Amino acid sequence: MSDFLKIEGLKAQIDADGTPKEILKGLDLTIPKGEVHAIMGPNGSGKSTLSYVLAGREDYEVTGGSAHFKGQDLLELEPEERAALGVFLAFQSPVELPGVNNANFLRTAVNAVRKARGEEELDAVSFLKLAREETSRLSMSGEMLKRAVNVGFSGGEKKRNEVLQMRLLKPSLAILDETDSGLDIDALRIVAEGVNSLRGPDFSSLVITHHQRLLEYIVPDRVHVMAHGRIIHSGGPEVATLLEKQGYKQFLEAAA
């Protein structure tokens, strides 16, 4: 199957103080297996909503269209089932979990996913070995495994923790929701390297970003321009460069 992720006519709304507000207005997007696609778009175009809807967040109501991943109806699945199927969302602002030890959290997540995928669960020792390898690869201090999840982490540490989770959970579709926001150039390189290290024939990614900068490190196969809840233009990596130079105006006008 070449269409790994296939989204057709997707419509979604959120409850805004009692009145439904439509955010995705018939979005079409296909990502073939093994490809990395980027979505760029102005604030409020619905980029984050798309990532939440794909990951299964309940406060968005899907009112039309479909989203299939590996041939399965993604919208029918619980968030944890989507994770088991291989969907991973790197959050724009990862929440803090006071009282939840990071190492325990990571091991619980890894084993939940392994179990659902029919793989053997990792015992504490082999998990810790794996986690230590991965943290040093991401230039993270081992101390971060002992702390509560994201509590007191700097912006960069939170993003690295997201990439750590991604590396450990081995997704086949990684959605990066503005993972570059608030990162300095070194952290950006490390995050990009984390994604690039997973690239291969069985790994696809949807990189949502405001800036072209991240796409210098994660070079996408396709770039989509999103506005008003739809994809209004798609092209090669050159679209990102064009956007950086000329802004969204020409695409918005062309789509209008």
Least separation in angstroms between residue 31's CB and another protein is 19
DSSP 8-51: EEEEEEEEETTEEEEEEEEEEEEEETT-EEEEE--TTSSHHHHH
Least separation in angstroms between residue 96's CB and another protein is 8
For residue 121, what is the DSSP state?
Answer: P
Least separation in angstroms between residue 118's CB and another protein is 13
Confirm or reject binding of residue 188 to another protein (CB under 8 A): no
Residue 221 tokens, joined? 């196969």
Least separation in angstroms between residue 21's CB and another protein is 18
State CA 240 to chain mean position distance: 18
**Distance from C-alpha of 162 to C-alpha of 159, rounded to nearest angstrom:** 5
User: Up-side HSE of residue 43: CA atoms within 13 Å toward CB?
Assistant: 1
Closest CA to 45 of 245, 225, 165: 225
Least separation in angstroms between residue 241's CB and another protein is 32
Which of 91, 127, 153, 251 touches another protein (CB under 8 A)? 91
Q: Which stretch binds another protein (CB under 8 A): 23-31, 93-101, 205-213, 224-232?
A: 93-101
For residue 212, what is the DSSP state?
Answer: S
Task: Give, as ranges, the residues between 114 and 153 that touch another protein (CB under 8 A).
Answer: 116, 148
For residue 147, give the amino acid letter: R
Which of 97, 119, 141, 186 touches another protein (CB under 8 A)? 97
Which of 25, 33, 57, 132 touches another protein (CB under 8 A)? 57
- Give the interface with another protein as residue ranges (CB under 8 A): 55-59, 78-80, 82-84, 88-89, 91, 94-95, 97-100, 104-105, 108-109, 112-113, 116, 148, 165, 169
